[in-house]
Structure formats: structure tokens, C-alpha cells
Amino acid sequence: MASYSAPLRDMQFVINELADLAGVARLPGYGEVTPELVETVLDAAGRFAAEMLAPLNAAGDRQGSKLGPDGAVTTPTGFKQAYARFTADGWNALALPAEHGGQGLPQLLSAPVVEMWQSANMAFALCPMLTQGAVEALVLYGSAALKKTYLPKMVAGEWTGTMNLTEPQAGSDLGQVRCRALREGDHYRLSGQKIFITYGEHDWTGNIMHLVLARVPDAPAGVKGISMFLVPKFLVNGDGTPGRRNDVYCTALEHKLGIHASPTAVLNYGDRDGAIGYLVGEENRGLEYMFVMMNLARFMVGVQGIGIAERAWQQALTFARERVQSADAAVRGGQPVTIIHHPDVRRMLMSMKARIEAMRALAYVVAAHLDKAAHHPDEQARAQAQAFVDLMIPVIKGCCTENAIDITSTGIQIHGGMGFIEETGAAQHFRDARISTIYEGTTGIQGKDLIGRKLARDRGMAARAVIAWMRALDAEFEQLQNADLQAIRTRLATGIDALETAVHWAVAHYASDVQAVSAGAVPLLRLFGIVAGGWQMARAALISQQRLNEGMGDAAFYKTKISTARYYADYELTQAAGLRESIVTGAAGVLAVNGDQF
């Protein structure tokens, strides 16, 4: 398997030129976030990812996590030691609140670091990603006592966190949750079963904090009757040390298509005397709180998609540069050449590269707006940033992960038959990526979220604001005239037109024909992602041309960026018109055949 090298140059370009690092650094509390600090952190993270995490990836996949007869889980060789180094070096606390022991750095810096972890070893990176979400929920909704007892150790990484949503009968429909919580003094006793709990049991830390959705006896039916509880694996003594074992046990590990090193646990609560849990926030508001965790998790899963796609792209590129097969099509009777000379292989490589760079740019721009939504001193600016984030989260989660599946599949295709053989490692990326469109809400759920909560609820106001922002870029093309930029300009304008038409149609018909709009929800999600990615690639091309005109920086990098943006315009943005037609007119074909006719 090819080694991993963090794409630092592209990351720094996006952070500084597209995602407005200077603007983020002006936010309260971020004054020390300079380009020099960013470069230092990214360099160190890149080395850790390449030297510590990436070498464990393939071996961890082969070995997997194992469940012992006593319910204990053993993770693959080297993972526990890597996590100890991970926390000792402070990586777990990077973007977590300073008041609880974190470093308090912005999401704009955290996102590329998370991308590196996901590229290097996706199965490893899942655990700290979920801990970060659990910390976020406790910071916002936990009592002072819960924060004091649990947050410092979770931020430091001494204890990890999980999300406990799914039950055998309750997947995406959390209104079907049956796990029970009985009041008992200052705590509750929980009973029930949760499945698909990532790192629900492991050997990395002395304690695990489970955030569990359950119902109190007199709770309303459906989603309005769900509460959130903190259930530690070991109860905590008055001095903060782990005490006796709580009544929560791992009874099985799922056998999965990918991410074999990550233990996905079945957890039983209350088989003995009831698992002691502590209410987070208020009763019957658990789903509201869980969505805080889930929103951040959905963004991070989108970044995960970028990371695993980048790893597949790097491996495919290395293989294409080394694999000798067939003569160059332009040289009659020539000798066999490396396959990177073949036009179709180059097309596939460009498809991978262009989409990764578009996804990365869009995700980091959203990360910067997460920082602005949380820290900007102006209330209106915070609200505008939050509206952009809310609109783009389902796009980031849905599109980056769907692209990841396609890109990792393309990586196998470039390898040819060798890609279908596990020893080359290309297949693992595809297998690992496949879960990303499912957990934290399937792509269909992201599409439903986009058309319902994000478009219909505000009559498309946030979407129209983003479309206007996209259109404002057109004026910048007037100052820079060349064939590539003008082609990008034309394709982007056509894509924006298609997006605007589709958004207008969805908003206009949601109330009167929700089924028709729902039939086009995922195509609309995809259209939004393609056009938003094209918008960022167009910005990147304009800035690159300006830098070339100024004679600044790495000319080869800027020329390649323009060429990549041109490819994206020619091959990705040109899909926009077809998607618009599917969204606006395609519902009849989706709904014409009823369930009995399939």
C-alpha cells in the first residue's frame, strides 16, 4: 500500500485564500491563530498521520477488533499505543474549549487535521471524532456537576465518548426508541439495548462515557418523549477516579464490510440491576440535544469522506505512475508505458483530484463559518454564518460521502485487477468509505433535511442568499481574460441557473406535493454540492490567475489549480442541467410504480 502524505500545500491554499483565515483570526479568542501557527500545526499533524496512524491502517483492517468471553474488546496491535501518543501530544484537545482543558483552536484548523486522521486511518479516527461530539453536547447542555466531573478527562482524551441512538427496531426513526430510564434520586436506572455503537467498548482508556437516548415512564410518545443520559462505563468516585463497574456491557461486535479495526458494539443496559445514568439537560429534550452532537458529527463525516477519497487518490496516482501497461495511443508501435500516459486513466485521476479539491474547499469554508457563527461579535453576522452552516451541513455530509464512494471505486478501477486484490490496499478504502453515506443519517435523510428544514422552512431564503453570493463572483471574471477562466465562468453561470430553478421549484411545491419534491431530494442535494463545489473551484482559479499575474508563489501549483478547475467545470458542472430536469420533471417516473408493482 502506498504511504500517505498530507496535502499540505492545497490545505494551506484553501485555508488562507478561500476560507478567510485572516477573518477567523480576528474573532474573539483567535488572535494567536496566524498562518505560521497553522503551518506548524498542519506540519506536525501530517507527520503524526503519516508516521503513526497510516502504518497501522492495513494491518488493523486485517486483524480487526476482537470481543473476549468476558465482554472486553481488544483493538488491533498498535492502536492503543497510538491513541496514548495521540492524547499525550494534545491532538484530542485541539478544538475543544479552553475552559475545560482544550486548546480552543478554530474549526478551520481542526477540519484539515481531522481530514488527515481520516485519510491515514479512518477506523482509528472515529473514536476521537465521537468524543468531540459528546464533549460539545455536555458543554451546551450538561449540568455544572457533570461538566466538572467528566469534561476535563474527556477533553484530555483520558475518557472517550459515544453516541447511543440506534436500537434493533429503531434506526433512523428515533421515535421508536424503547430504552427505559427510571428516576431514582439524583440519577436514573437505564435498561434496554443499543446497537451500532462505534467504540462502545475498547481497551484504549479506563472509562467510556455513553450518551444514551431513552424514555422516562411518563414521556410523550414519539420523538417528543426522548431524553438524553450520560452513562459511564465505570461510575466515578468523589475524587474523580473510576469506581465500580456500571451495568452496561458489550455483548457482541458487528461483522462489517469495512472499518474492521473500529469496534462497533451491541451494548446491553440494565441486565443486572439497571445502568446508572445522569440526565443531560431536561427530560424529553434528548433528541434536540443529540442533534447538536449529530450536526457536528455530520460535518466531520463529510470531512471523513474527503480524507478517505484523498488516500485513495494518492494510492491510485502512485500506481498509475509505476504500472507499465500498453503503448501510448499516440505512438504507433511504441513500447509499453506507465498507465498515467493513457487518456482514460488521466481522466479518472482528474475526476478524483478535482472533486476532492472542490469538496475540501467547500468544507473548509463551512468550517470557517462554524467559527464565525460561534464567535463573531456581531449578532447579525453570527446569524448569517449559522444560516450558511445549517444549509450546507447536509450538502457536505451527503455529497462528500457519496463522492468518496465513487472516488474510492475509481481508485480500484485505475488499479485494474490489482485493485480487486486486497493486498494492494485499494479495496480497503472503498470498503471503509461505504459506511460514510449511512451513519449519522443516510444520504436520503440529508436530502430530506435539505428540502424540509433548510429550504421549505424559510421559503428558500438562505439558499437564495448563497446563490446571490455565487453570482457575485461573476464580476471578477471581467478583470481576468483567458480561455480557461471564461469556460469556467460560463459553466458556473449555467450551473447556478440550474440550481436556482431547482430550489425555486422545490420551495414552490413542497407544501402542495411533498412526495414529488422528496423524489428529487437527493438529486437536489447532489446538484447543490456540484454547483457549490464549482463556485469554490472558480474562486480558486481566479485567485491562482491573480497570483500568476503578480509573479507570486509556486507557479506550477497555480497553473495546476486552474487546470483542475477547468476540468471540474467541463465534467462536473455540466451535469447540473440534467439534474435540474430530473428534479423538476422526474417525480412522475419515481412515483408511477406502486409498491405492489415492483
- pLDDT-derived band at 1, boundaries 50, 70, 90: low
Let me know if residue 178 belongs to a domain. Answer: no
440 carries an active-site annotation: yes
Q: What number of residues does the chain have?
A: 598
Q: Is residue 556 part of a domain?
A: yes
pLDDT value, residue 327: 93
C-alpha–C-alpha distance, residues 202 and 373, integer Å: 35
- HSE value, Cβ hemisphere, 13 Å, CA-based, for 246: 29
Residue-averaged pLDDT of the chain: 96
How many C-beta atoms surround the C-beta of residue 139 within 10 A?
17
**Lowest-pLDDT range, 1-5, 23-27, 230-234, 464-468?**
1-5
Summarised one tens digit per residue, pLDDT across range 137-152 is 999 999 999 999 999 9
Average pLDDT over residues 57-75: 97
In a domain, 562, yes or no: yes
Could you give the CA distance from residue 502 to residue 554 in angstroms, rounded to a whole number? 39
The answer to whether position 488 is within a domain reads yes
pLDDT at 478: 87
pLDDT band, residue 63 (cuts 50/70/90): very high
Q: Which residue has the cell 462536473?
A: 572
Are 456 and 507 within 8 A, CB to CB?
A: yes
Domain contains 573: yes
pLDDT for residue 587 is more than 80: yes
Q: Which of 115, 440, 500, 572 is catalytic?
A: 440
Cell of 6: 498530507
Q: Regarding predicted confidence, which is higher, 584 or 70?
A: 584
pLDDT in tens, 487-510: 999 999 999 999 999 999 999 999
- 558 is a domain residue: yes
For residue 174, pLDDT over 90 is answered with no
Instruction: Of 5, 7, 114, 113, give the one whose Cα is nearest residue 54.
Output: 5
Please give the angle made by the CA atoms of 84, 82 and 198, to the nearest 5 degrees: 90
Q: What average pLDDT score do residues 180-198 get? A: 97
What is the domain range of residue 510? 443-590
Mean pLDDT of 443-472: 97
CA–CA dist 404, 454 (Å, integer):
24
Question: In this model, does residue 432 exceed pLDDT 90?
Answer: yes
Residue 480 lies in a domain: yes
Phi-psi map region of 324: left, alpha, beta (phi>0 left; psi -120 to 50 alpha): beta
pLDDT at 2 over 80: no
pLDDT score, position 596 = 85
pLDDT confidence tier of residue 598, bands split at 50, 70 and 90 = confident
Residue 158 phi, psi dihedral angles, 5° rounding: -70, -30
Total count of domains within the chain: 1
* β partners of residue 268: 193, 249
Inside any domain, residue 531: yes
Q: How far apart are CA 556 and CA 572, in angstroms?
A: 23
pLDDT at 247: 98
* DSSP type of residue 561: H
Provide the grid cell at 431: 470498503
